[in-house]
Amino acid sequence: MRVGWREWVGLPELGVTRIQGKMDTGAKTSALHAVNLREEIRDGERSVRFDVPKTTSSSQGPQALVRVVDERTIRSSNGGTEIRPVIETRVQIGGGCWPIELTLTDRGQMGFRLLLGRQALRSRVLVDPGQAFICDPLD
């Protein structure tokens, strides 16, 4: 599937029907803006509860409770490092939907609430950096 450098993306398991996502081929991992992030133990497993962004604005959507599958040290674009929880969920772009891993962090000061890195894009999409919003929009 061919995609532009930014597309409308859905995260159906998190209740996000439409959010602008940046296809970030310079990043290995994907990242989602998550606020009010709190760790919990549910049924003996580590989980995180957080508020999910609605759009690229600062408004918040539903609250999610998701199992943590890993924890990673991520180097941000400003050179600092941060330990982030990793969750698994499904991403929807155009007519495609597949599982990805997302790190959770506060991206409130960033231009995009969702970055899709190489691991999420590999073998699924071809990014056309000269185009934006070329996939069918999500409703």
What's residue 60's pLDDT? Answer: 62
Please state, in angstroms and rounded to a whole number, the distance separating the CA atoms of residues 32 and 103.
6
Task: Check: CB of residue 65 under 8 Å from CB of residue 52.
Answer: no
Please state, in angstroms and rounded to a whole number, the distance separating the CA atoms of residues 83 and 81.
7
Please state, in angstroms and rounded to a whole number, the distance separating the CA atoms of residues 5 and 95.
17
Burial of 104 (0-12, 13-18, 19+ CB in 10 A): buried
Question: What is the full per-residue pLDDT of the chain (139 aa) written as tens digits?
Answer: 999 999 999 999 998 989 999 999 999 999 999 999 999 998 899 999 999 876 545 556 678 999 999 999 998 777 889 999 999 999 999 999 999 999 999 888 788 999 999 999 999 999 999 999 999 877 5
Both tokens of residue 27? Answer: 């990043």
User: Of 90, 109, 92, 122, whose CA–CA distance to 24 is shortest?
Assistant: 122
**Which residues touch 8 (CB under 8 Å, ≥6 apart)?**
18, 19, 20, 21, 93, 133, 135, 137, 138
Considering the entire predicted model, what is its pTM?
A: 0.90
